Amino acid sequence: MKNILTIGVITLCTVVLFTAVPQTAAAQLTKKQEKTLQKERDKEYKKKITEYKKEGWKLAGGSRTIEVALLEHYAKTADPKNKEFIGDVSQCKSINVCRQAALNNAQNRYASLASSNIKGRIGSLLRADANRPEIEVDKVIAAYERSVQADISGVLAESYSIAKENGDGTKTFQTIFIVNEEDAASARTRAMEKSLKETKITIEEAEEISKFVREGFNIE
C-alpha cells in the first residue's frame, strides 16, 4: 500500500510540474529532454520530502500535507519568473510570531542582497561627479536598502511554512516564499526612485541606474 501511495504522489508531482511549465518552453523540449527533466524533478521531490521527515519538519498551519504543499510549490517555480526565497528563524514560540519573524528575516535578507548587487555599479556612477561628497553616495545606498526592505513584503508571496520543535519549548521555523522577478524589479525601481528623492540627489545617469536596479540577481 505504501509503495502504491508513493508512486501516486510521484505521478501527481510529474503531472502538476509539467502542466505548470509554459507551453512555449515545453514545445522546445524533445521527448528525451522531457523524460530527463521528469526524472530530475521526481528525484528532487523525493529527496526534499525525505529530508523534511528525517529532520522533523512539519507543515505549519493549513489542512494540506507537506507532500501536497511541496508539489504546489514546485508547480509555481516551474515558471522561470518565479524564484524561491526562504525566511527563517531559529527560536520562536507561537506560529504567528514565528511567521512574522520569518517574514522580517526574508525582507532584511532580500534588501541586503539587492543593495549589494548594485552598490559597486551605482557607487561608480554617483562618484563620477567630483563635486559629490562620499557621504551622499553612502546615503543613497542606505536609503535604497531601507526602501527595498519596506516594499518587498508585497512581493514575497508565502508558498508554505514548516516548523520543527527544538526540545526547549521553542521552534525552528521557515517560510518558503515565491518571488516574481517582474514584480520584484518594479519594487526595486520604486525603491531607488524613493531613495534619490529622499536624499535629494539629481543625476544624469538615472536611466542607467534604473537599468542596473531592474536587473535580476541570484537570491538562492
CATH code at 121?
Answer: 3.10.129
pLDDT digits (tens, 9 = 90+) for 48-57: 999 999 999 9
Question: Highest mean pLDDT range out of 30-39, 101-110, 185-194?
Answer: 101-110
pLDDT digits (tens, 9 = 90+) for 141-174: 899 999 999 999 999 999 999 999 999 999 999 9
Do residues 113 and 73 both lie within one domain? no
Rounded Cα gap, residues 15 and 57, in angstroms: 25
Region 187-206: what's the mean pLDDT?
Answer: 82
Q: Has this prediction a pTM greater than 0.85?
A: no
Do residues 86 and 76 both lie within one domain? no
Do residues 19 and 128 both lie within one domain? no
Q: What pLDDT does 29 receive?
A: 66
Cell of 220: 538562492
Do residues 97 and 75 both lie within one domain? no
Do residues 133 and 184 both lie within one domain? yes
Check whether 218 has a pLDDT greater than 80.
yes
Do residues 123 and 57 both lie within one domain? no
* End residue of a domain, out of 61, 80, 99: 80
Check whether 115 has a pLDDT greater than 50.
yes
Q: What pLDDT does 211 receive?
A: 84
Task: State the chain's mean pLDDT as an integer.
Answer: 83
Q: What pLDDT does 13 receive?
A: 46
Check whether 14 has a pLDDT greater than 60.
no
CA dist 68 → 6, 18, 64, 65, 126 (Å): 12, 15, 6, 5, 49
Do residues 189 and 158 both lie within one domain? yes
Q: What pLDDT does 130 receive?
A: 65
Q: Which residues of 169-180 are buried (b: 16+ CB within 10 A; e: fewer)?
A: eebbbbbbbbbb
Q: Which domain holds residue 95?
A: 81-220
* End residue of a domain, out of 57, 80, 103: 80
Do residues 30 and 118 both lie within one domain? no
**Who has greater pLDDT, 206 or 85?**
85
**Who has greater pLDDT, 72 or 204?**
72
Region 181-191: what's the mean pLDDT?
Answer: 95
Do residues 121 and 165 both lie within one domain? yes
Do residues 102 and 63 both lie within one domain? no
Do residues 9 and 115 both lie within one domain? no
Cβ partners under 8 Å of residue 183, min gap 6: 154, 155
Do residues 119 and 214 both lie within one domain? yes
Give the total number of structural domains in the chain: 2
Beta bridge partners of 156: 179
Region 85-114: what's the mean pLDDT?
Answer: 96
* End residue of a domain, out of 52, 80, 108: 80
